[in-house]
A and B are shown apart, each in its own frame.
Chain A
Amino acid sequence: MSAGKSNLWSRARIIQSIRHFFIEQGFLEVETPNLIPAPAPEVHIDLLSTQRGFLHASPELCMKRLLSAGFPKIFQICKCFRDGERGHLHLPEFTLLEWYRAEADYTDLMDDCEAMICFVTDELGLGNAIQYRGKVIDLKTPWERITVEDAFAAYSPHSLKEALKTDRFDEIMVLHIEPQFNTSMPVFLCDYPSSLASLARLKEGHPEVAERFELYMGGLELANAFSELTDPLEQEIRFNKENDQREKNGKQRYPIPGKFLEALRNMPPSAGIAFGVDRLVMLLTGSEKIDDVVSFTPEEL
């Protein structure tokens, strides 16, 4: 067994508490297939494939189809699969929480994040401050919001433009920006360059950025959210771009999810978020490694 016994008890309580929060907020809990014929092609996400399709890397496409079908507030907690991802914060099979809101944008999801995490820590009796890696994280809201542009201006040795041109965005993020984040409270890193948000809506009046944010807490990246793109033509163009880039990197092209693109026509303006449940459990149990919060790691099977 990988996790200590008490961590598995905490894990169960955290997941139950998340559920409790969304049910109280009037969200519908849904389940969508894990085995899908076509994923959302993304440059840096490799799917696990089976003889009859792919294991989903996120329930995103099916959940958006449910938005189109008239369910305006939905959530799901499920296993997702990403090939080749293994580190102290990564497992190739991990647990995602996703939720979607119709008639909402990414700022509504920031409010949700604040409310949900505070609800969970409250239910667990942790109060409004937690300790992680020897530091106190104050959960009093509102949490800090900083744009990618400002973060680069403050911490990066290279300009954002240069970083994008030389394909060093991720490297600078990991080496120079993430370590500088305020760890005394959670941080929303907002407004990513439009080229880095294939499924997100561009910001009105600022087409160079997309309405996307990532939530960091105690230095851990916890969630990724968008105001969703609802234009099927634009979405198809972006999927093809992602596939082209995959091919350039020597990787497989993925089939285009046609039924999803069709459903996008009827999708209301919405916002959606993918939230790492294992990492939240790490934070709330003071665990250094993702191995410490799951029953078994792939290496133990």
Chain B
Amino acid sequence: MTVYQASDLRKGLKILIDGQPYVVTDFTFTKPGKGQALYRCRIKNMLTNRADEKVYRSVDTFESANLQERKMQFLYNQEDEYCFMDTNNYEQVTLTKDQVGDAKNYLIDNLEVSILFFDVIPLGITLPNFVDLKVTRADPWVKGDSAAGDSKPVTLETGYTLRVPPFVEEGSKISVDTRTGAYLTRVK
């Protein structure tokens, strides 16, 4: 386990406080007069997502949060639960709808994702940047519909709706950028 000094604090650093993993979301360095350096941090509990503010002194030290990324495959979802399997040891883990968040728009069977764990507790998903998804519903494009411009809405197999160019038809496959949620290209 790595031990950090207060002077190592920076945005994005993940540390352990009272046994829970936190990420530093913002911080300012101050040093009054001839006094000691103070590090005012905004931190977020990675288990509860609750934000907090702390002031650390230069003598303070922290343990790194023991976080681990594991490659997992999406199996299925049932109501508000999403089930994944570790491709190395076939271990299964369930995430809640909240933990999955917007990633639910891209979860198709057997999709490979990374899941961040704090010990055995899953914290969140990192998707591949691009996912290919089938268009399950596309209304024909009405030419001259100026309000719509040069795009039309479609619904994908995951239930996600987005705007695509007019030539995309029902039953075709498209590639979507999971970071922006936007259409990228048609795929064969």
Contact = CB atoms under 8 A, between A and B. Distances in A.
Interface in B48-67: 55, 57-59
Interface in A12-45: 42-45
B58 A44 contact: yes
A214 interface: yes
B149 interface: no
A45 B34 contact: yes
A224 interface: yes
A161 B136 CA distance: 72
Interface in A73-100: 84-90
Interface stretch (B35-43, B75-83, B108-116): B35-43
A221 interface: yes
Q: Chain A interface: which size bin?
A: 20 to 34
B57 A171 contact: yes
B37 A44 contact: yes
Contacts of B34: 42, 44-45, 196-198, 224
B28 A170 contact: no
B29 A90 contact: yes
Contacts of A86: 29
A178 interface: yes
Interface string A208-252: 000000100000010010000000000000000000000001100
B30 interface: yes
Contact of B31 (A90, A175, A198, A249): A90
Given A44-B35, A44-B37, A87-B31, A249 B59 contact: yes
Given A44-B58, A84-B7, A175-B55, A170 B38 contact: yes
A42 B36 CA distance: 10
Interface of B: 7, 28-38, 40, 55, 57-59
B55 A171 contact: yes
A76 to B, nearest CB: 19
Contacts of A90: 29, 31
Nearest to B56: A171
Given A44-B58, A84-B7, A171-B57, A214 B33 contact: yes
B79 to A, nearest CB: 46
Contacts of B30: 87, 89, 174
A169 interface: yes
- Nearest 10 pairs between A and B by C-beta? A87-B29, A170-B35, A44-B36, A173-B32, A170-B36, A170-B32, A174-B30, A214-B33, A174-B32, A84-B7
B32 A221 contact: yes
Given A44-B35, A85-B37, A90-B29, 20 more contacts: A44-B31, A44-B58, A45-B34, A84-B7, A84-B58, A85-B29, A87-B31, A88-B28, A170-B36, A171-B57, A173-B35, A174-B30, A174-B38, A174-B55, A196-B33, A196-B34, A196-B35, A221-B32, A224-B33, A224-B34
Contacts of A87: 28-31
A174 B53 CA distance: 14
Contacts of B33: 173, 192, 196, 214, 221, 224
